Each structure stands twice: as structure tokens, then as C-alpha cells.
Amino acid sequence: MSENSFQSEVTAKAAESGANASARFRERQAQGGSTAAVDQERVALLAGKAIKALNDLVIEEQLSYEEYNAFKAWLIKVGEDGEWPLFLDVWLEHSVEEVANADREGSKGTIEGPYYLGGSPELEWNGTIPMREDEPGTPLVFKGQVTAVDGTPLPGAKLELWHADNLGFYSQFAPGLPEWNLRGTFTANDNGEYEIHTIRPAPYQIPTDGACGQLIAAAGWHAWRPAHLHFKVHAPEHQLITSQLYFPGDPHNDDDIASAVKPELLLDPQPNPDGEGEVTVYDFVLDPA
Ligand code: MBD
Ligand code: FE
């Protein structure tokens, strides 16, 4: 595998990771995801409001035909590049998450993003996430406890962790990485505790060669998300929490392109007294179902 370690850097293409993200999303929907039949009145209300918002924009901003056609061409390209999951998760999902989790008392959640995969390898409470033998990056021990809002430990809670590698690439979306690289499902011990061994991810840059990258360049924005770890934490009779955790000092914690950083989600890594790299502690508090 070592010849392949850095292959993703040179070959990652927007169209490929976009096509993968679109395909994985479709598969999940087909497996009983949430393509809920939305009732007709609700569709009429929501679609009507969305269309009105765009029409208002055209009138307010006195849109020209040149701009209209540029917009049309760009929308077509988002589809061709498979970047609808990326576009929606970067620029819209944070509001959906805010609405969905407004009443939570436990830990804050944040967006899932386009790169989650279910069914990652199952590991013990103190396991090492699947990684290459020569996986580049600072070793990171990530540990803590999963409890209910009243502090009761939740034994057997499951933590799914997925994150980018030291170059900002996700397995199964960028090429040249082992299938489950930096993806694992950990079962908490009898006291709800977990201790995961991984490496620190790099900041993530939205692919620059696809439609989303084209928009970012045309608008003069930046394409970065701060370095982050993604989680889903489940326990029986408790609400699933989807979250991300961030590292202090990352220049993009304050201007995440996906607007998904919250102050409660910042870690505090310290030098690991028992080994190489860093150790960081975070406790998950789950609301009742
Ligand atoms: C990511 O890694 C991510 O987490 C989000 C939300 C969007 C794009 C890439
Ligand atoms: Fe991510």
C-alpha cells in the first residue's frame, strides 16, 4: 500500500468524489432512507416559497439575461459533477440541523456532510481505527464517556467515527485509499467509556475543479473547512447524535465554508503523557428518545 499513500493527492477529482457522494446518497435512500412522501400541501407551500424567493431575487437585483444564463449553466454543471450533495451539505444543511436539534439538552450536534458511510468496521471501546501502516499524521487518542442528560453512563453506546486523512481526503470518495481507511464503529465499555486511537485529520478543501469550486472562485470566497472529526453516537432509547469536533487554533474555525462550527465542539488536545502525539477528551450527552 505504501506506493499508494499519496496517490490521492494527485488524482482526487471533483467529478469522482461528487459522483461517489451522489451514488452513496442514492443507495441510502433506496435502503429506506428518508425519501418520505411529503404531503401535497406541504410541497406546494415549500416549492412555492422557494420559487418566490428566487423571483424576488431576480427583481430586486435586476438580473440580466447574461446572469440568468450563467446561473442556468452552473446549475447544469452541479448535476454533471455530482455535486448536489456537496452544495447542499455545505450551504444548506446547517440550517436543517439547527431546526432539527433546537430542543436538544445534551451535546450539540452539527451537520453530517456528504461523506458518511454506514457499516464501518466494528471495534472495541479502546480500538485503533483502520489506517494504513504508514498513515501520515500526528497520533491522536480520543476518549471520553457517553452518558444520558442526568449523567447515567450508557454502556454499549456505539460511536461511529469518520474523518479525512492528513491530506484532507476521505476513503471511498478520493481514490487510492483502503476501503475503510479512518472509518470505524466503536462500542463503549460497561461504564459508557471509549478510547479511540487515530491520527489528526487535515483541514478539508472543497474540490476546486468542480461546479462548487467554480462558484467559490467566481465569488472570491475560500474553499476551506477546518480540520474535523465526524461522529454518530447511538445508544438504545436515546436520540442519535450526529456531530463534528474541531481543533483549537485552526484558521478556519471562524469562517468554515459549511457554517458547522460551534464553540461547544472545540477539543482541547494535550501532549499524550503515555505515548506519541496527543490525547483529547470529549463526553457525549444523549437526549432521551
Ligand atoms: C466535508 O468533509 C464536510 O464535512 C462537509 C460538511 C462538506 C464537505 C466536506
Ligand atoms: Fe468532513
- Report the pLDDT value the prediction gives residue 15, as an integer from 0 to 100: 77
Which residues touch 224 (CB under 8 Å, ≥6 apart)? 203, 204, 205, 206, 251, 252, 255, 256, 257
Mean pLDDT of the 171-198 span: 97
pLDDT at 83 over 50: yes
Predicted local confidence at residue 29, as pLDDT: 84
pLDDT at 6: 46
Query: Is the CB of 238 within 6 Å of ligand 1?
Result: no
Mutate to test the pocket of ligand 1, among 88, 90, 171 (most ligand atoms within 8 A of CB): 90
179 CA to middle of ligand 1, Å?
A: 19
Ligand nearest to the CA of 83: 1
Confidence class for position 17, pLDDT limits 50, 70, 90: confident
CA angle 190, 193, 197 (to 5 degrees): 125
> What confidence score (pLDDT) does residue 64 get?
98
Radius of gyration of the chain (CA): 20
11: pLDDT strictly greater than 70: no
Cα 20 off chain centre by? 15
Residue 128: all three cell numbers together: 485503533
Handedness of CA 59, 62, 63, 64 (dihedral sign): positive
Question: Model-level pTM?
Answer: 0.92
Ligand in closest contact with the CA of 206: 1
Indicate if ligand 1 lies below 6 Å from the C-beta of 258.
Answer: yes
Contact, 37 vs 171, CB < 8 A? no
Q: Are strands 139-148 and 284-286 parallel, antiparallel or unpaired?
A: parallel
For the stretch 31-43, pLDDT in tens is: 876 656 779 999 9
Q: Is the CB of 141 under 6 A from ligand 1?
A: no
Task: Report how far apart, in Å, the C-alpha atoms of 17 and of each of 46, 99, 172, 226 are.
Answer: 30, 28, 8, 19
Distance in Å, CA 90 to ligand 1 centroid: 7
The residue whose CA is least distant from atom 4 of ligand 1 is 113
Contact 235, 155 (CB under 8 A): no
Tell me, what's the pLDDT at 286? Answer: 98
* Residues belonging to the chain: 289
- Pocket probe for ligand 1: among 22, 81, 115, 262, the residue whose CB has the most ligand atoms within 8 Å is 115
Burial of 88 (0-12, 13-18, 19+ CB in 10 A): middle
| pLDDT over threshold 80, residue 8 | no
Nearest to 142 by CA among 42, 246, 38, 57: 246
Q: How many A from CA of 51 to the centre of ligand 2?
A: 30
C-alpha distances (whole Å) from 26 to each of 35, 114, 249 are 10, 12, 36
Ion ligand 2 residues within 5 Å by Cβ = 113
- Name the grid cell of 208: 476546486
Q: Residue 14: nearest ligand to its CA? A: 1
Q: How far is the CA of 153 from the centre of ligand 1 (A)?
A: 30
